[in-house]
């Protein structure tokens, strides 16, 4: 059971906008720890997509954005494209576990 909860799947048509939620508690996201997001294409390693809640590494398009509020965070993908089909994971730190923790993962399907 993952410490951070994500919906198992989300889907949208090309060009649409989808969001993925990441829900934690007062020992991780709610304690003020940053949230980071990773994209994992089939058969490959995870790749950093968003860091420190809202920042994009170079090369990540600005149609991808992140936000954080209270004990939750969200990843938004606008203008959905076929190449966005992947698994997405959120990550933070948990002070009760003294460990970096990941979400359960969300599979994005482009219809």
Partner 1 sequence: EVQLVESGGGVERPGGSLRLSCVGSGFTFDDYGMNWLRQAPGKGPEWLAGISWNGGKIRYADSVKGRFTISRDNSKNSLSLQLNDLRAEDTAFYYCAGERGYTDYSWFASWGQGTLVTVSS
Residues that bind partner 1 (CB under 8 A): 2, 33-34, 36, 38, 44-48, 51-52, 57, 89, 91, 93, 95, 97-105
Q: To which residue do tokens 């494209």 refer?
A: 81
**Residue 22 C-beta: closest distance to partner 1, Å:** 11
Task: Output DSSP code: residue 1.
Answer: -
108 token code pair? 């994005």
> At CA 103, angle to CA 40 and CA 95, rounded to 5?
130
Dist CA 13 CA 73 (whole Å): 23
> Which is nearer to partner 1, 89 or 110 (by Cβ)?
89
**Residue 109 C-beta: closest distance to partner 1, Å:** 16
Contact 14, 78 (CB under 8 A): no
> Which is nearer to partner 1, 14 or 70 (by Cβ)?
70
> Which is nearer to partner 1, 82 or 98 (by Cβ)?
98
């Amino acid at each position: 059971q993952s410490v951070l909860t994500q919906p198992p799947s989300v889907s949208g048509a090309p060009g649409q906008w989808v969001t993925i939620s990441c829900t934690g508690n007062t020992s991780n996201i709610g304690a003020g720890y940053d949230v980071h997001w990773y994209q994992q294409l089939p058969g490959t390693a995870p790749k950093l997509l968003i860091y420190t809640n809202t920042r994009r590494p170079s090369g990540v398009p600005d149609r991808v954005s992140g936000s954080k509020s209270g004990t939750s965070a969200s990843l938004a993908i606008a203008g959905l494209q076929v190449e966005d089909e992947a698994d997405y994971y959120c990550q933070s730190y948990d002070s009760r576990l003294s460990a970096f923790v990941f979400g359960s993962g969300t599979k994005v399907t482009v219809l």
